[in-house]
């Protein structure tokens, strides 16, 4: 099982602490802006990127709207990862963004 928060809550967390964010959007979507130091794990190649995360850390999963991140959150939680899904995704996120890919 995993938790869920809204994008505004993630904005607040990112400002206060060093949180680990997994962005499951495709590479071409990152040009719309992404959270600094996120872990990019595009959903189309997700299995190839599992080595980037570990079960000891807590991760916040984002996509554009929240539906892909919900699928990934469910999968990762079933595998024993500590996960929080970000409802509304990057389309609802108003925090600082990086536009470099």
| 65 touches 87 (CB < 8 A) | no
DSSP 46: G
Domains and CATH numbers, the chain: 3-91 (3.40.250.10)
pLDDT the model gives residue 9: 98
Give dist(CA 14, CA 19) in Å, integer.
6
Mean pLDDT of the residues in the chain? 97
Contact 62, 22 (CB under 8 A): yes
Residue 101's pLDDT band (cuts 50, 70, 90): confident
pLDDT digits 0-9 by tens, 25-84: 999 999 999 999 999 999 999 999 999 999 999 999 999 999 999 999 999 999 999 999
Buried b (16+ CB within 10 A) or exposed e, 47-68: eeeeeebeeeeebbbbbbebeb
Q: Which helix (H) or strand (E) holds 9?
A: helix 7-16
């Amino acid at each position: 099982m995993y938790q869920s928060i809204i994008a505004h809550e993630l904005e607040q967390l990112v400002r206060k602490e060093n949180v680990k964010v997994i962005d499951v959007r495709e590479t071409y979507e990152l040009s719309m802006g992404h959270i600094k130091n996120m872990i990019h794990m595009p959903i189309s190649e997700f299995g190839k990127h599992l080595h980037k995360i570990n079960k000891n850390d807590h991760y916040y999963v984002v996509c554009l709207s929240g539906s892909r991140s919900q699928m990934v959150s469910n999968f990762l939680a079933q595998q024993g990862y500590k996960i929080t899904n970000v409802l509304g995704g990057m389309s609802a996120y108003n925090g600082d963004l990086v536009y470099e890919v």
